[in-house]
Amino acid sequence: MLQILLVDDERSVVETLAETIPWESCGIGTVHEALSGAVALEIMDNHDIDIVITDIRMPEMSGIALITAIHEKWPHVQTILLSGHADFEYAKQAIAQESFDYLLKPVSDEDLIESVQRLVHRIKEKWETAASHQRALHAFQDHLPLLQSTMLHELLTGKVYDQKTLADKLDLLELPYSVGEDLGMLIIRMEKHLSDMAHGDLALMEYAICNIISEVMHNHFHIWHTRDVHDYIVVLVSMKHSTTMSYSRSETPQTLLEQYAAQIQTNVQLYLKGAISISVSSWGKFPHEIGELYERTVMSMRKRMGQVQGLFVTASDETDANPLHTIRSLYQPPTLISLLEAGRFEDVEQKIEHIFEELLHSNEHHDIAESTFEVYFAIAGAFAYIIHKNGKQISSLIPAESYRYFQAPSYSTAQQLQDWSVRTLHYIRDDAEQELRDNHSTIVRSVKSFVDLHLAGDVSLPAIAHHVHLHPVYLSKVYKAETGEALTAYVYRLRMEKAAYHLRTSTAKVFEIAELVGYNNTAYFIRVFKKFYDLTPQEYRENLPV
């Protein structure tokens, strides 16, 4: 939703407008207030304001001068001028400054709401035009290589798409891959002097290497590449169907890929004057085996190359057996720790379920004990981390029956470990939710105390937010969620209730009561009081039972 700024040197005017106009129904999410042009420009510097409503006659900087400064620095911001003087010269200046509307004070709520709604509609129409299909398509094409690289990176790190979403995304990104298709992989490590380059030069070198790869392999292979967390270039390849018969029968896709990889290594040395190491994978199926191929090929590079530079390793060189399966879902993003930090407890529970499904499924023919240890330490470590990060001790948050698992593994089956994991997660979730409720209750109490003590002074949203050290937008959301009432509506209601109390229990004059509840302009006070009680203050007092 949009943000609006109300500017008037009379505090009662801006506060009345802020409190009594149903801004949300007009499409306005946040209302800012300023009592001078200088303060208004300071707010403009710190907030993404969409609409400014300003009085014309103000000391030091007039409304005309203010909107002139706004249109010079923020030409997209729309303005509405208010004036208590039906002067045609002001109207002409407003038109000259391309102000959206010019309204005479005292403006009725209906006229102001109608003007703001028309202006919000115009702004939204501009947004829709800016987001037209042609512009979006042009931007998409410009970013297509980056989008392709990002998707491959997601697949390497374990992101899973359902079949329709995957097919749609591949089509959108113009990637000629399909489910179940055979694929191979190259992992390329840039060596000195290539890897010692500055970041910008390194990106340029990556671009040059990928151009060499495309030039060498384009006759037989589709090429899809990205850079991983180790700064390796990862190249996914699949055979082009139109050329599958264009190589000799003695050549397989694997041998062809290895020949091309060797040629790439030579060409980089020849044309870029730098060494690269290459690890060539075996073949797997798209997309489900991408992660496994990647991990195995990176492992091969680490084990067989180490820090030796300029080497060439292929899947046919592999002799190691790896009978114990790694529980990949433990490490696939989002990780347990990142989910816990974000407070996504339902997703954590779902991830735990996936971890144990994989644990039981992948170790049907192996000793499950080793993998269960891996799962236990990962989950217990994640839980201990988030509890300590929240400033708590494990023993103070977890009951003794569950706490003993942190002191020493106390499970005898994987199911017992899973039950403990879910149970402990619930303790952590319940504690976090209670802490949030306590924090919000404290904020609400502090707000109400401040408003009650300062009702005759500045109880604007920025002033209250400053008192409780929160951003105004966040404070508004917390207060509304906790109480069911908007903060500005609470201030308005409290003012009216206090005014009614004084009318009932004192002989103070109306203008004195207006000042007691924060209105320096008696006419505005009478107007908002009547809007709330459907009676003027005098009528309210006259209708009191004797």
CB-CB contact of 186 with 210 (8 Å): no
- Position 321 scores a pLDDT of 46
Can you list the residues of the chain whose pLDDT is less than 70? 85-97, 130-136, 195, 198-200, 242-250, 305-309, 315-325, 362-367, 546
Domain span(s) for CATH 3.30.70.270 in the chain? 147-317
Question: Residue 351 burial by CB count (10 A; 0-12/13-18/19+): exposed, middle or buried?
Answer: buried
Write the pLDDT tens digit of every residue in 501-538. 999 999 999 999 999 999 989 999 999 999 999 999 99
Concatenated DSSP letters for 453-510? HTTTS---HHHHHHHHTS-HHHHHHHHHHHHSS-HHHHHHHHHHHHHHHHHHH----H
- Position 313 scores a pLDDT of 80
- Position 133 scores a pLDDT of 59
Distance CA(374)–CA(367), nearest Å, equals: 13
Token pair for 292: 């496994």
In 108-253, beta strands by DSSP E: 182-190, 221-227, 233-239
- Position 8 scores a pLDDT of 93
How far is CA 118 from its chain centroid? 30
Q: Across-strand partners of 104?
A: 83
Domain 2-131 class in CATH: alpha beta
CATH 1.10.10.60 for domain 454-542, yes or no, is yes
- Position 250 scores a pLDDT of 59
Looking at CATH, the fold of the domain delimited by 147-317 is given as Alpha-Beta Plaits (3.30.70)
- Position 23 scores a pLDDT of 93
Q: Across-strand partners of 28?
A: 2
Residue closest to 152 by CA, chosen among 10, 293, 362: 293
Q: Which ranges of 342-407 would DSSP assign to H, the alpha helix?
A: 345-362, 368-389, 394-397, 400-407
Sign of the alpha-carbon torsion through 201, 202, 207, 213: positive
- Position 339 scores a pLDDT of 92
CB-CB contact of 213 with 264 (8 Å): yes
3-state secondary structure of 7: strand
Domain span(s) for CATH 1.10.10.60 in the chain? 454-542
Q: Please provide the average confidence, as pLDDT, over all residues in the chain.
A: 87
Q: Across-strand partners of 233?
A: 188, 227
Domain span(s) for CATH 3.40.50.2300 in the chain? 2-131
